[in-house]
A = this chain, B = another copy of it.
Amino acid sequence: MQNKNVHEQFENMDKLSEECGVFGIYDFDGGDVASTIYYGLFALQHRGQESCGIAVSDTKGPKGKVLSYKGMGLVNEVFTPENVDIDAMKGDIGVGHVRYSTAGSSTRENAQPLVINYVKGTLALAHNGNLINAIELRKELEYTGAIFQTTIDTEVIAYYIARERLNSKTVEEAVGRAMDKIKGAYSLIVMSPRKLIGARDPLGFKPLCIGKRENAYIITSETCALETIGAEYVRDILPGEIVTITPEGGIQSDTSHCLKKEEQARCVFEYIYFSRPDSHIDGVGVFQSRMQAGRFLAIDSPVEADVVVGVPESGNAAAQGYALEAGIPYGTAFVKNGYVGRTFIKPKQSNRESSVRIKLNAMKEVVNGKRVIMIDDSIVRGTTSDRIVGMLKEAGAKEVHVRISSPPFLWPCYFGTDVPAREQLIAYNRSVEEICQVIGADSLAYLKIERLKEIVNNLDICSGCFTGKYPLEPPKEDIRGEYQK
């Protein structure tokens, strides 16, 4: 029931949305970790911009006393001096979260980390991903007396950990038993009074890695968060692995839930768009995989042209790859307005101005009189592509050849990505030829599906949104958005 602005807000740039980023830290030397989490969340902000939160605890203090603050908005909107005094959040262990969500459940109640009291004290959970059996699990829990205060899967996971804890020697054992129940995509960080635990689903949909800075250990979604805080990368958490961090044991690993390599199913869109280009996931650099996608486009869908340009920011890497492979100069055709911000009002009396124009402008010098190859990472609904192509033409481009560094979206995602309804996808019921006409390009080509594995060094991937073939049986009914209050 958060009020929406009375003015219509401008549409976004027609991109998919990641659902979360997680960051946990345990400083054995006892330093206060809240500020480090705060900086880490800045580095993960691209993974979720709707809400964020930090929870910390003092492992030497009263058992399970957690200080937390959560709110709607960006990290620098939520963690202001007026709202919260980060310096007063004392603790040597903590967890943070940034979140995006589908429209309906974008409420404060659903912000994370989720902090709970249970039989053994307190847990704070931060979770990235989507369970596919959440409805069944909720029903099962409700039939044994559970109540739910949020609509996030994290609450389901918390319940199972709490319940399995009654039969487990340790909290990490309870996490493992909970993993026997839950199905789907999850990269999970659990802060217990004395332990920091990271767990990644057996298929490895979402990234999760370990870092170290002096005597502090970090678990987080992306390596870029490690670099931002000056930590060194230790390793990725394996798909299916549970990692427990304690001063006594350092990094302890439980790999009993790990599958065979070929059963893994990393979300390939993490490489194509979601993750920051300076991150590495499971040993593969995101920037490199985008460059490689561009190279494959140059090989598979060549066209004569004078300049290769990327749609900022995410199209730039592939454009550079294309340019190198094709031997055509790379150029910067667009200026992006960095001051626009996430949302701004659209006055009613405005009728000639477009949001795309405010965010992007094309530079005549670069494209005037030229044949241009324009690289973007994806087309979802196609609501802005025609305007961007049009901008190049107005700036004098003789031809605009569009190359997309991923295959066409055709299917929903059940594992944590917010794909619009099929009817809204431009590729649904349209040939590439038809899409090319819609966006007004002179030619259009997508990355071939068979190239997907190649751009990630032949890691095993999930490409369900392109192929409709999912590594796990999707739920029969579309569950996304079901548990909206």
Cβ distance A16 to chain B, nearest Cβ, rounded Å? 17
A118 touches B148 (CB 8 A): yes
The CA of A228 and the CA of B348, in the complex, are separated in Å by 18
B485 touches A81 (CB 8 A): no
A227 touches B357 (CB 8 A): yes
On chain B, the residues within 8 Å of A332 by CB distance are 277, 287, 316-317, 320
Q: Within A67-89, which residues are at the interface with B (CB < 8 Å)?
A: 67-69, 74-76, 79-89
Given contacts A1-B89, A353-B230, contact A345 B79 (CB under 8 A): yes
A42 touches B345 (CB 8 A): no
Cβ proximity bits A6-46 to B, threshold 8 Å, 1 near / 0 not: 11000000000000000000000001101110110011011
Q: Does A413 contact B (CB under 8 A)?
A: no
Cβ proximity bits A43-70 to B, threshold 8 Å, 1 near / 0 not: 1011001000000000000000111110
Cβ distance A432 to chain B, nearest Cβ, rounded Å? 28
Binding-face segment, A108-116, A458-466, A467-475:
A108-116
B363 touches A278 (CB 8 A): yes
Q: Does A341 contact B (CB under 8 A)?
A: yes
Cβ proximity bits A336-358 to B, threshold 8 Å, 1 near / 0 not: 01111101110111101110011
Q: Does A170 contact B (CB under 8 A)?
A: no
On chain B, the residues within 8 Å of A330 by CB distance are 320, 330
Q: How many copies of the chain does the oligomer comprise?
A: 4
**Nearest opposing residue in chain B for A57, CB measure:** B485
Given contacts A2-B84, A117-B485, A316-B332, contact A337 B43 (CB under 8 A): yes
B147 touches A159 (CB 8 A): yes
Q: Does A276 contact B (CB under 8 A)?
A: yes
B335 touches A224 (CB 8 A): yes
Cβ proximity bits A356-373 to B, threshold 8 Å, 1 near / 0 not: 011001111110000000
A162 touches B143 (CB 8 A): no
Given contacts A229-B353, A287-B363, contact A81 B3 (CB under 8 A): yes
Chain A to chain B contacts (Cβ below 8 Å), 27 pairs? A1-B84, A2-B84, A36-B353, A39-B358, A43-B337, A43-B358, A43-B361, A46-B339, A116-B148, A117-B148, A144-B145, A145-B146, A147-B159, A213-B352, A227-B357, A227-B361, A228-B353, A229-B353, A229-B357, A230-B354, A277-B332, A278-B335, A287-B332, A316-B332, A317-B332, A320-B330, A324-B329
Top 4 closest pairs, chain A to chain B, by CB:
A35-B350, A35-B347, A145-B163, A119-B142
Q: Other than A75-B344, A330-B330, give 4 A-B pairs with Cβ distance below 8 A.
A: A5-B80, A42-B358, A118-B142, A229-B352
